[in-house]
Structure 1
């Protein structure tokens, strides 16, 4: 069971703070702007097919998430067995859903090898990054499931049904709950540093270009990022803002006035200094440095105990290599590095939704 936030952290969660970014990867994303129906039917490129996408990716974030990772059973199940489990999950949720809970299913790099199948070319384990403190037993996995719902209890109920369907084929590897700190309706969620986390996700028309493949598949990158909140939050506010690159109160980029103002990497003060420092998090994570390539982020906070709390970084993107490029920049120069540790990691291929009346397991081939 996840421990409740300490009194100090409860204060941080409810405090009327604001401003920018994800810890440890592209931060300027807004997970409140799109829906799955928009993403699959309103692409700016009308010549491309409408992708069949799983829910729980471009839909607005519920208050809670439960991440589940499974490995193949030592009994060495067959491809057919795994397809059956995936299909059972899909049809079970469709026929008797847990109210408000959305499952999203993705496959890890090792699964295809174990089953003698060919993995998608871009599905590869992430490389090691400087400063990583990864705990292998809390990362990786052959099959990952993201459960998003209105309460931790609802997510737990859905997880119990998933576990029952997987008996004899998949065994649990790790599970990690997360939550969105309290916030006024319509506001961007804040992380445990008190800054807004997720300000400029791709727009509806950009999802097909940057997130979905034509068949509706995408990739998931997961990082559990421990945050040294006591150290960071004792810094003067102006120092915090220089580290992030945004104003804490308004969420605006330094040198601007409103949360959704464009990030101007070249704006300078009258004294000739960049408004956004060269080692600020949002500068190093900016899409301009990657030819405009974008990710869709669905970050959640987590609080496992008094010694382990922070951010569950969940990003959906067409190619995990984008995350690798960004994280290499951040690991080398990000001013936030002294205040965070990447402790768990996973990458997975998110299957497209099956055609109507077809089983999800058919997407594994």
Structure 2
């Protein structure tokens, strides 16, 4: 390229700045032909440089494929089996005292119709055009199961009262619990509208509802809660047989208000000690990476535990329950500036596991001063619907 430019410059004539002044320095005289030659050389050189740059630079990453459909029909309900989606809505419905099994089947069939059509894009609502897939679940509360003598798990029962509970009855319980989750709250809001219309037509009334969300997080990474810590590390596989009984499971729901300002006022190491993990990486205090197994028995040379005796990670460790684990799903909620927190959902075959864990947490957890449980519910997550069928047909 240098040779090309030199040839072009050589083609330019020179002339004195002032022809009458022989002492004045000569300057190049640029005629049209010379200018065109130089421009062509520059263009050729720039083109070559551009080609080289493009060859050296990797191409743009291919756009990820759009999310595929999430089947509604299957042995187990998608709201448990599928990955956690960023936006969720919970609905609790009550049924009239005179409701029988036939009326319950009618209600479940109406809800199933909405959810099945939403899953395959068949819901006739232009607001859902192009909406990504949604997941759902339906669970029957203990009172309704007992009233109708349903074949629910023997372990299905309301939770006992825990120290510090401030439960609002208007936000708790319910005969039928429904959850829809999607990529966007727009989708869950519209699906809730359709579900509520179908349920009302079938004789149910709304008891409470709650919306939740996840913060943005790179794919595959654990989302954070409003305390800034990763929430959901070390979860079992949703398909783990230990979580299921005859393709059903039990849901425990807790609405937990979080005092984010008071927790943020703690020193950083104090927050880590209270949780038993490091806020930046999510690693346990006994490890270096998020998914390292917390060693709740490791001690410092002075004999004190590396993970303190009151740390959340220690008190919720499966090692204290013979290795039994629950599938945990947490969404944040932000209803008002003074009412923000966590919607905690856990799935297990026997809610006695949750009772044991929550009893330890309520009594000794270092996070307890910053948490208030304001709502609670339990439900039997029904087996999935067969192809072309509805939830609860086996009832």
Aligned to 2:225: 191
Query: For residue 175 of structure 2, what is the aligned residue in structure 1?
Result: 142
- Residues 284-299 of structure 1 correspond to what in structure 2 (within 5 A)? 284-299=315-330
* Contact 2:91–2:210 (CA under 8 A) maintained in structure 1: yes
Distance (Å, rounded) in 2 between the aligned partners of 1:93 and 1:58: 15
Structure 1 residues 95-244: aligned runs within 5 Å: 95=117, 96-97=122-123, 99=131, 100-115=133-148, 117=150, 119-166=152-199, 167-203=201-237, 207-209=240-242, 211-213=243-245, 215-244=246-275
> What residue number does 1:85 align with?
107
**Residue 204 of structure 1, CA deviation:** 5.9
Structure 2: gaps spanning 5 or more residues = 1-69
Shift of 1:119: 4.3
Corresponding residue number in structure 2 for 1:64: 87
Q: Residue 128 of structure 1: SS of its match in structure 2?
A: coil
TM-aligned CA deviation for residue 58 of structure 1: 2.8
In 2, distance between residues paired with 1:220 and 1:203?
16
Structure 1: runs of 5 or more not aligned = 1-36, 38-50
Shift of the alpha carbon at 1:115? 3.3
Structure 1 residue 94, shift from structure 2 partner: 1.9
- Change in 2 beyond 3 A, CA 1:320/1:290: same
Q: Does 1:317 align with 2:339?
A: no
Return 179-188 or 221-230, whichever deviates more. Answer: 179-188
Partners of 1:239 and 1:66 lie apart in 2 by 34
CA distance in 1, matches of 2:156, 2:238: 25
The Cα of 1:330 is off from its aligned counterpart by 0.7
Q: Does 1:331 align with 2:354?
A: no
Render the CA deviation track for 1:205-228: whole Å, top value 9, x for unaligned: 7x112x111x21000000000000
How far off is 1:345 after superposition? 0.2
Equivalent position of 1:54 in the other structure: 77
Q: 1:225/1:361 Cα in 2 relative to 1: closer, same or farther (>3 Å)?
A: same
Where 1:360 maps in the other structure, the secondary structure is: coil
SS at match of 1:362: coil
TM-score by length of 1: 0.82
Bigger RCO (CA 8 Å, 6+ sep): 1
Equivalenced residue count is: 314
Give distance in 2, aligned partners of 1:317 and 1:259: 24
Alpha carbons 1:101, 1:147 under 8 Å: kept = yes
Instruction: Report SS of the residue matched to 2:205.
Output: strand
Following TM superposition, by how much is the alpha carbon of 1:87 offset from its aligned partner in structure 2, in angstroms? 1.5
Bigger CA radius of gyration: 2
Q: Deviations over 1:250-303 (max 9, x none)?
A: 111002111001110111223332110011011000001111001011110000
CA distance in 1, matches of 2:310, 2:140: 35
* 111-120 vs 244-253, greater mean Cα deviation: 111-120
Contact kept in structure 1, 2:282 and 2:289, CA below 8 Å: yes
RMSD of Structure 2 on Structure 1 (CA): 2.1
Alpha-carbon offset, residue 203 of structure 1: 3.2
